[in-house]
Amino acid sequence: MSFICYNNPSPAVKRYTTGVAMAMSGYLLAVLGTAWFVHHHHPQGAEVYFLAAPPALCILAMLLVVVTYLRDERDEFQRMLFVRSLLWATFATLAISAYNDFLQSYGSPHTLPPFSLFVSFWLIFAVARAVQSSRIKVASND
């Protein structure tokens, strides 16, 4: 059973889905809006630090959604699958980040674009979640 395609989602899943949609929408709007502003107004100094805050706050909101889901989900098995997916995504993202950092430190012009680690984390999480869901074998009641 897929995390996204529940037949009867728990209240925790419903809140998680709504929270993810809101946090990701906020992140997309914050990144696009900030990028547009920076491109057109060329801010400097403290203004740049202020402009970096909205997308970062959206990332924190996403983390709060995850923590809230883990607190509220009563199905231990679903919680375990979620945590496993988080661990795989963390592992892979840290590996990608370390590799990218070494490329940068060695002066390579070919490194990951900005904002790619956050997106990569959630894509890897989704793949890990799908792989785990596909491996679940449920006994038939025939």
Non-local CB neighbours of 96 within 8 Å, separated by 6+ positions: 112, 117, 120
Looking at residue 39, its pLDDT comes to: 94
Q: Roughly what angle, to the nearest 10 degrees, separates helices 46-72 and 76-105?
A: 150
Mean pLDDT value across residues 86-103: 95
Confidence grade of residue 96 (pLDDT, cut at 50, 70, 90) = very high
- Per-residue model confidence as pLDDT tens digits over 50-61: 999 999 999 999
pLDDT at 19 over 50: yes
Domain ranges of the chain: 1-74, 75-137
Distance from C-alpha of 66 to C-alpha of 60, rounded to nearest angstrom:
10
pLDDT at 115: 79
C-alpha distances in angstroms, 132 versus 2, 20, 36, 88?
A: 9, 20, 39, 11
Is the whole model's pTM more than 0.85, yes or no? Answer: no
Q: Tokens in use for 43? A: 């801010």
Q: What is the pLDDT of residue 141?
A: 52
pLDDT above 80 for 2: no
Listed in sequence order, the residues at least 6 apart from 53 whose beta carbon sits closer than 8 Å to its beta carbon are none
User: From start to end of 8-107, where are the E strands?
Assistant: none
pLDDT at 93: 96
User: Any residues with CB less than 8 A from the CB of 10 and at least 6 apart, and which?
Assistant: 73, 74, 75, 78
